[in-house]
Amino acid sequence: MAKAYDHLFKLLLIGDSGVGKTCLIIRFAEDNFNSTYISTIGIDFKIKTVEIDGKKIKLQVWDTAGQERFKTITTAYYRGAMGIILVYDITDEKSFENIQNWMKSIKEGADTNVTLSVAPILRTGNPKRDQPLKNFYKLAKEHNIRFFETSAKSSVNVEESFNALAQDILKKMNKKPV
């Protein structure tokens, strides 16, 4: 029987409460969007298998609660994550500034070879939109991380951001000496 997948990658989404982590995962895994906000309690996950460079990659995507009161639970899941997507709301400067704190948490709790990516979530029609972006280019350059402006609502760059992260992880794996 053919193997269902070649690799299993564990991915994790982190970021402030309400920035859109759950919506991003649901758009990716189920191609759905619901604007009703139900804050994540603790932790949850969804599975999707993608094909990259001829390999079937099973993505196990962990959705963490952004609320501070769940921090102890959620940080326990950093260990073993192969890729982490940092999420912020492009119209919410605070959620962008907090990316620095989320990065600190990664340094403390995640594996050193974890691959990072950032997904600023677009909220269309807001004039404040460009402000956090400009700062962000600097941050991304400093840390040498990939980013995709994403919208779960309008289905922009969702598959692209997950696939690019999986591709980066696959590349890293193939580079490792046997």
- Which listed residue (6, 8, 18, 29) binds ligand GTP by CB under 6 A? 18
Task: Print the SS3 string covering the chain.
Answer: CCCCCCEEEEEEEECCCCCCHHHHHHHHHHCCCCCCCCCCCCEEEEEEEEEECCEEEEEEEEEECCCHHHHHHHHCCCCCCCEEEEEEECCCHHHHHCHHHHHHHHHHHCCCCCEEEEEEECCCCCHHHHHHHHHHHHHHHHHCCEECCEECCCCECHHHHHHHHHHHHHHHHHHCCC
Per CB under 6 A, the segment of 14-22, 47-55, 99-107, 138-146 that binds ligand GTP is 14-22
Q: How far is the CB of 18 from ligand GTP (least distance, A)?
A: 5
- Name the residue nearer to ligand GTP (CB basis): 42 or 56: 42
Site for ligand GTP in 88-127 (CB under 6 A): 121, 123
Per CB under 6 A, the segment of 50-58, 63-71, 73-81, 98-106 that binds ligand GTP is 63-71
Residue 72 binds ligand GTP, judged by CB under 6 A: no
Residue 151 binds ligand GTP, judged by CB under 6 A: yes
